[in-house]
Amino acid sequence: MSELIIDGKPLAFVEGQTVAAALVAAGRVSWRTTRLGHRPRGVFCGIGVCFDCLVTIDGVGGQRACLVPAREGMTVTTEESTDE
Ligand code: FES
């Protein structure tokens, strides 16, 4: 099993999982909130259409977690992060 870093903490994933799949497998169903109403969002469509799953990956914002394969050592930051 490999690990990525999410909000400063290690998260194990199985090769072939997307970032979103790794998060859901770890029990996280939401990782950002809407600007209006601060409603929780995570995976909705799972195919790159809805943009509900946005995260920052290796410093690049606006990445769709459901489309990006998890890689060893990648750094993922969510809007729920307390690091920023
Ligand atoms: S879940 Fe819809 S774009 Fe990722």
Using the mean position of ligand 1's atoms as its centre, give its distance from the Cα of residue 10 in Å: 23
Q: Is the pLDDT confidence value at 71 over 70?
A: yes
Residues 9-44 pLDDT 10s: 999 999 999 999 999 999 999 999 988 888 999 999
Token match 């750094």: residue?
A: 75
Per domain, the residue ranges of the chain are 2-78
Q: For residues 39 and 19, what is the distance between their CA atoms, to the nearest angstrom?
A: 21
Single pTM value for the model: 0.91
Instruction: Report the residue among 44, 68, 76 best suited for mutation to probe ligand 1: largest number of ligand atoms under 8 A from its CB.
Output: 44
Specify the CATH number of the domain 2-78: 3.10.20.440
The 8-class DSSP code of residue 52 comes to T
Structure tokens at 32: 């950002």
Ligand 1 is surrounded, with C-beta below 6 A, by: 43-46, 48-53, 64, 66
* Pairing of β 75-77 and β 2-6: parallel
CB 76 within 8 A of CB 4: yes
